[in-house]
Amino acid sequence: MRVAIIGVGTTEFGELWEKSFRSLFLSAGLSALEDAGIGGKEIEAIYIGNMSAGKFIDQEHIAALIADHAGLAEFGIPAVRVENADASGGSAFRQAYMAVASGMHSIAIAAGIEKVSDAKDPMEILSTAIDQEWERFVGANLPAIYAIIARLHMHKFGTKEEDLAMIAVKNHRNAVHNPKAQFRKEISVEDVMNSPYVAEPLKVLDCAPLSDGASAVILANEEIARKICDTPVYVEACTQASDYFSIQNRRDILTFQAVIKASRDAYRIAKIEPRDIDVAEVHDSFTIAELIAYEDLGFAKKGEGAKLIREGETEIGGRIPVNTSGGLKACGHAVGATGIRQIVDLVIQLRGEAKKRQVDAEKALALNIGGSGATAVVTILSR
């Protein structure tokens, strides 16, 4: 059964000290319902992406909490939390998509949320997404793992620190016109190059912030979508794949096999090629992650990802605009919400509602990655 997105909503991303966990998900969910023009009693299931509310805010059992405070408990609808580290949002979206596509439910919400600013050390919590015995125990954290990947890419293919800086500059430029973005300020290559190292060669401005935020989308079967939605966006494919958890076990740490598997499956299901994608939101928790995504998604040959950013191919107005929202780097990375937020931004693009960020797009792709690449979710949308 064909599935459409009929409503989207998102909060701002950032250090939202004045916002509570509950107020964030209520805001995103109500915005999505209003966008769809439906009431809560029409929702048949909720899937919530969240990495670690238990560590960030000492709250578990959040799916039931959200259903309760969203006013949906009286309807008794099932609410499920989905955890897959940074890919929790994308994974929750896939669960909602499969529920509607199978005919089990007619209308479902996929949402994501994270509230990190109250935690003592958010990066320590995020680094639980890598192997605690084989990586974390010997001193690595998530930035260190991506720094190893970046250094090897530079050694093998001649990629420069300036190439990574250009990705950060592009994404900040895009975020200027995104009212939901955390960093609506342009930066220069010099700004990036002069920022302190976090894990050489990655600097502060190569790294996405850890943010508070929530996003939601409402999915419905095609019959319902055609009746109630003037501009449905269709889900052509939503695929997920896994790779070895520790980078030491991977055949090539410069190739995220989960991304290759998920994207090739998605292209096959949607009956398209990489060249058919008009706009993409990809996981840029670190600038090197975006560059490798260019290659693994088939937008560039392996080792030639830097060419795309040097030649302006991934800019708005380029051949394949990437992260017109500002990406995780500038829009912000509310871990469990990121995969849903990517979908929200692509729906806005496909509807033609992105204003100064607008590109001419009929097909869009979202890539949501968990940890250092052990999980990948790829979604292809069309208008």
* pLDDT tens string 201-249: 999 999 999 999 999 999 999 999 999 888 899 999 999 999 999 999 9
Please tell me the predicted confidence (pLDDT) of residue 1. 86
Q: Does residue 277 sit in the same domain as residue 152? A: yes
Q: Does residue 59 sit in the same domain as residue 88? A: yes
Phi, psi of 168 (to 5 degrees): -60, -40
pLDDT digits (tens, 9 = 90+) for 72-118: 888 999 999 999 999 999 999 999 999 999 999 999 999 999 999 98
Please tell me the predicted confidence (pLDDT) of residue 151. 98
Average pLDDT (13-36) is 96
262 is a domain residue: yes
Q: Is the pLDDT of residue 123 over 90?
A: no
Q: Does residue 193 sit in the same domain as residue 240? A: yes
- Amino acid identity of residue 132, one-letter, is Q
pLDDT digits (tens, 9 = 90+) for 243-271: 999 999 999 999 999 999 999 999 999 99
Q: Does residue 302 sit in the same domain as residue 189? A: yes
Please tell me the predicted confidence (pLDDT) of residue 313. 98
Q: Does residue 350 sit in the same domain as residue 308? A: yes
Q: Does residue 198 sit in the same domain as residue 227? A: no
Q: Does residue 220 sit in the same domain as residue 369? A: no
pLDDT digits (tens, 9 = 90+) for 362-377: 999 999 999 999 999 9
- CB neighbours of residue 382 within 10 Å: 18
Boundaries of domain holding 30: 3-121+211-233
223 is a domain residue: yes
pLDDT digits (tens, 9 = 90+) for 128-173: 998 999 998 988 899 999 999 999 999 999 999 999 999 999 999 9
69 is a domain residue: yes
Peptide bond into 122 cis (omega under 30): no
Confidence of residue 124 (pLDDT cuts 50, 70, 90): confident
Phi, psi of 334 (to 5 degrees): -85, 95
CB 30 within 8 A of CB 69: no
Average pLDDT (332-336) is 97
Please tell me the predicted confidence (pLDDT) of residue 219. 98
pLDDT digits (tens, 9 = 90+) for 276-327: 999 999 999 999 999 999 999 999 999 999 999 999 999 999 999 999 999 9
Q: Does residue 240 sit in the same domain as residue 226? A: no
DSSP label at residue 131: -
Please tell me the predicted confidence (pLDDT) of residue 347. 98
- Give the pairing of strands 46-49 and 79-82: parallel
Q: Does residue 181 sit in the same domain as residue 141? A: yes
Q: Is the pLDDT of residue 119 over 90?
A: no
Q: Does residue 149 sit in the same domain as residue 266? A: yes
Average pLDDT (30-48) is 95
CA dist., res. 131 & res. 147, Å (int): 16
CA dist., res. 298 & res. 132, Å (int): 32
Q: Is the pLDDT of residue 122 over 90?
A: no
Query: Nearest CA to 318 among 300, 339, 340?
Result: 300
Confidence of residue 71 (pLDDT cuts 50, 70, 90): confident
Report the chain's mean pLDDT, rounded to a whole number. Answer: 96
Tell me the CATH number at 110. 3.40.47.10
CB 379 within 8 A of CB 250: no
- The secondary element (H helix, E strand) that includes residue 292 is helix 287-296
- Amino acid identity of residue 343, one-letter, is I
Q: Does residue 80 sit in the same domain as residue 174? A: no
Residues 6+ apart with CB under 8 A from 321: 278, 279, 280, 314, 315, 359
CB 66 within 8 A of CB 48: yes
127 is a domain residue: no
Please tell me the predicted confidence (pLDDT) of residue 46. 97
126 is a domain residue: no
Please count the structural domains in the chain: 2
Phi, psi of 161 (to 5 degrees): -60, -35
Q: Does residue 181 sit in the same domain as residue 250? A: yes
In three-state secondary structure terms, 367 is: strand
Please tell me the predicted confidence (pLDDT) of residue 230. 83
Q: What's the whole-model pTM score?
A: 0.97
CA dist., res. 188 & res. 161, Å (int): 13
